[in-house]
């Protein structure tokens, strides 16, 4: 009997694959000589895939949501720069802020519910990505966060500044 084929639509995407797709979209949005339409398409696809991620590793799932927020902010910043994209940019920004707030609330609730000793979080990881309680909508207004924590290039930082200034 041949192996059963699973439809790609119903197969959950691996968390790290989605994080990589989001990173690729952010990189494309940041490239100075890129077609922003390609970045929009890639970021939109990757953001849509975050809802299909499943797993038991809560910290990894939280990083997916944090990276989704980062991707939505990058998408909003490039949408904002186009003349007809302002409503979509505002929607992406609003959703990013809402999801990041939910992520923080969930992380705080999980941390307060723990009764046993928890190993201390390392100051770095092999992935070197921000997770729950490391990313918030307000932090995307902080130049140091964009340049040092996220290490976004100046071109994308400029787009985010314009989005934050609503210019």
Give the model confidence (pLDDT) of 99-126 as tens digits: 989 888 887 887 777 655 455 444 434 4
Question: 19 with 129: CB under 8 angstroms?
Answer: yes
pTM above 0.75, yes or no: yes
Q: How far is the C-alpha of 13 from the C-alpha of 49, rounded, in Å? A: 7
Counting Cβ atoms within 10 Å, is residue 31 exposed (0-12), middle (13-18) or buried (19+)? middle
Q: What is the mean pLDDT of residues 26-36?
A: 86
Mean pLDDT taken over the chain: 80
pLDDT for 6: 43
Report which secondary-structure segment, H or E, holds 73: helix 58-80
% of the chain with per-residue pLDDT over 90: 33
Residue 53 has pLDDT above 50, yes or no: yes
Identify the residue whose tokens are 């490039």: 78
Q: How far is the C-alpha of 155 from the C-alpha of 43, rounded, in Å? A: 17
Q: How far is the C-alpha of 65 from the C-alpha of 156, rounded, in Å? A: 20
Q: How far is the C-alpha of 42 from the C-alpha of 55, rounded, in Å? A: 23
Question: 24 with 42: CB under 8 angstroms?
Answer: yes
Residue 45 has pLDDT above 80, yes or no: yes
Question: 45 with 155: CB under 8 angstroms?
Answer: no
pLDDT band at 27 (very low <50, low <70, confident <90, very high): very high
pLDDT for 57: 85
Q: What is the mean pLDDT of residues 68-89?
A: 90
Question: 132 with 70: CB under 8 angstroms?
Answer: no
pLDDT for 7: 40
Residue 129 has pLDDT above 60, yes or no: no
Least confident residue range of 28-37, 42-51, 109-118: 109-118
Structure-token pair, residue 135 = 């990313």
């Amino acid at each position: 009997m041949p192996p059963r084929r699973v439809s790609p639509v119903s197969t959950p995407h691996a968390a790290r694959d989605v994080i990589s797709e989001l990173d690729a979209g952010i990189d494309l949005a940041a490239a100075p000589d890129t077609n922003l339409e390609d970045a929009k398409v890639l970021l939109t696809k990757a953001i849509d895939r975050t809802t299909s991620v499943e797993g038991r590793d809560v910290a990894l799932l939280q990083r997916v949501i944090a990276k989704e927020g980062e991707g939505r902010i990058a998408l909003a910043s490039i949408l904002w720069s186009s003349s007809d994209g302002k409503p979509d940019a505002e929607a992406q920004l609003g959703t990013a802020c809402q999801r990041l707030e939910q992520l923080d609330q969930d992380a705080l609730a999980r941390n307060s519910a723990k009764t046993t000793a928890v190993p201390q979080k390392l100051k770095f990881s092999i992935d070197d990505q921000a997770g729950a309680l490391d990313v918030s909508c307000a932090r995307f207004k902080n130049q140091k966060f964009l340049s040092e924590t996220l290490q976004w290039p100046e071109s994308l930082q400029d787009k985010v500044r314009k989005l934050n200034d609503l210019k």
